[in-house]
Structure 1
Amino acid sequence: MSETAEPGLRERKKAATRQALHEAALRLAFEHGPENVTVEAIADETGVSRRTFSNYFANKEEALFYGDLQRMRQLAGLVRARPADETPWAALSAAAEEFYRELGDLDPDWMTRNRMVRRHPSLAAAQVQTFAALEREMAAEVAARLGPATDPLGLRSQLIAGTFLSVLRISLNVWLERRPDVGYWDLAGESLAEAGRGFA
């Protein structure tokens, strides 16, 4: 019985270390600016070695965007769980609504980091790479719904996934910059409905 429990404990410890490194990276970036943060500083802040850091992240950018990656994986999982008879756009939109309704009000630290990203081109590039990974995963989910007969080249799947993520990203940028008197999902949901008319 202990043999089955031990891997679970080990995985939880690894997840806790990864999360601690991510939070330390964000904290240091807020305090000193992302350009002044080093891998060594993140490791020291967390109380681990530089080598331990490298077991979890390839660089400081990965550590900074780990939270985004986790949220994206959660969103992809919600898409995967949607009923098989839903159209791709309906499944994507319903999964996004479920995700953001459960998330609730966006975390102030997360919003601050997004503003910080726009001020630092090197971090913006890293964020684009993170979103590209999600776009590939989303495109695969869409392709599974469309089937090879409908989308033999995978082009439609990539267009749908790319449009979906672009709507979420642009809605977030507008919401952060202009601070409308509506919640983020209210704005994003309306934008998704508008964009989705071409994929109905």
Structure 2
Amino acid sequence: MPVIMHFSTFLKLLTQNTGDKIRDLSKCSQAGGFDYYRTSRDGVASLCGDSKSLEFVKMRIKAMAPENAIDRNVKIAEHCSNWLKKQTGTGKKAGKALWTSPKKIFSVHIEPEICLTQGGTNRILAVYPRDEPRINRDQAGAGILLIQKSYKAGSGPNKFGILDAFAERAYWSPTNSSQSILDHEITMIENELTKVLAL
């Protein structure tokens, strides 16, 4: 059975140095795992798709997140709220997707938090929730390509992006290097997980 990781975990791996990446992948043989960003993901999705207030979202995070995750998740929601206030379009719930690697060693659960519709176009963004290291254009572009590979077409055209929450900056386009980075990352993750899981 493949390892299933959230898209935010995949983005984290994209931005890590090799040693940290290998250490994190070595933990995949252990059952379970703590979803550190779950409350902010749900919160940002409700800011956009359910028109909930930031105060409501912060209250929910404080009620549901573990003590050591409250401050970070509140800050993510605040930064995403700041970015959303500057945008146009109607917010709605984004669809979900599951992408499976070529050798079926791992899958990525893609659950974009933001969808803004304007003029028939859906602008769909997944949030990069970490403050350090910053995600760069090449890495964000690799993430966008992965979303494009797996997302089911909905009503109207879709434009995909990655929102760097702490920078309050959206990336919309892959670079010339993004496909190579994505291919390299997928191969590296499959190779490491093959060793970790003794496949």
Provide the TM-score with structure 2 as the length reference: 0.30
Higher strand share: 2
Largest Rg, 1 or 2:
1
Higher helix share: 1
Provide the TM-score with structure 1 as the length reference: 0.30
